Each structure stands twice: as structure tokens, then as C-alpha cells.
A and B are shown apart, each in its own frame.
Chain A
Amino acid sequence: QVQLQQSGPGLVKPSQTLSLTCAISGDSVSSNTAAWNWIRQSPSRGLEWLGRTYYRSKWYNEYAVAVKSRITINPDTSKNQFSLQLNSVTPEDTAVYFCARNSHSEGRPFDYWGQGILVTVSS
């Protein structure tokens, strides 16, 4: 059974960096079939896919255009987890942030999700 456990602060000041981690159990961040995603949800934007990291003989990252200049998603193979960093945050980045697994090659959408963390951007 795959489980994703999220951690990180719930309050970030404007212009600072939002940092979250998603610890994986029951699968590997280095899986050759899975991809590891970050998604956020807010009343104004709904569910918004932010980006993903995946391993196919080498590491790949893909990011949503709206955040591409500010986002980094990194795998950590030693801890079997992956992280999200979002720079220069504003109040518009206030949202519940989720990590989730999918596998395009196996035709699988987001089948496992983290519990979600509400991140508030406020001074």
C-alpha cells in the first residue's frame, strides 16, 4: 500500500520560499513507471497541477507555466521523498498543497495522495 506523508510549515511570509516535503512508503521515488506530483487547491484557482519529477534512466522535471520561474521539485533518493520549493510567494499562493503519484505509462491518474497541508502566505 502506497502512502504519501507531507510535512512543512503552514505559514510563509510574502516574498519568502515555500518548502514542503512528501515522504513515500510502499513505492520508490526512483520508480521507472511512477511520477511524483505537486498539486494545490484554492477557492480562486480550484485544483491546479504545479509540476512533477520522475525517473526514466535519468531524472526529469516538468512544471506548470504559471509557476515555472519560481518552482523547483527535487527527488531525494536517500530518504525516498521529494520536495517542493516555491520562491517569492505572494498571498495568491495561499492554498492547500498536495503531493500525489501517477503513472502515464500505465494509464494511471493520481491514485495516491498526501494528506494536504494548508499553506498561508501572510506577514
Chain B
Amino acid sequence: QQQVKQSPQSLIVQKGGIPIINCAYENTAFDYFPWYQQFPGKGPALLIAIRPDVSEKKEGRFTISFNKSAKQFSLHIMDSQPGDSATYFCAAKVRYSSASKIIFGSGTRLSIRP
């Protein structure tokens, strides 16, 4: 199974709240899980990433929680700000013999209200 399932599709949170975006996968061959942030009319930019041998990774206000046995991972944004309003994509990478491929989730449109 090459899919990465992402939820929710959209999310509205008050400033200072903690939005949580969830992703799930089936393929145990995935070996790298990046999150991308995309602002309207722009290309996605790498936000934070984690390997499956780590259960949590923090970078600033962004935290990835990873549950290998459940094949789930999530993004938490602490002390969210209106500037965090964007579309967020989770993704997973699988390596083939001489190549690798990134599979993207369907995206979550996040709005942080002032």
C-alpha cells in the first residue's frame, strides 16, 4: 500500500491553541517521514521530518509524534500563530533499488484565528 492518509482536511484553531494533524500509512518500507508547509500560490517547503526509529522530534514550536507499531504519525503546533495558517502535507519516503519516492498525504488546510 503506497498511500498516506491524512486528516483532517481542514482545521480552524484559535491563536495560542495546539492544532494536531494526523497521518497513517501501511507500507512498512517507508523510512523517512517529512512534513511540508505550503502557503497559497507557493511551493511546499520542508518543515520538519522524522525517521521511524524515533518517537518524537521537536523543532521550535513544531513537534512530530511517531507511533511505529500503529503506523501513525502526527504534527503538533504549539502556541499557534496566525502566520502558521497554511496547508500542511505529511509524506513518506520509500526506497527502491536505486531510487526513492515520496508519497504525499492529501493535505490539511489550517487556519489560525487571531
A and B are partners in one complex rather than unrelated chains: no
**A residues bordering B, Cβ < 8 Å?**
none
**B residues bordering A, Cβ < 8 Å?**
none
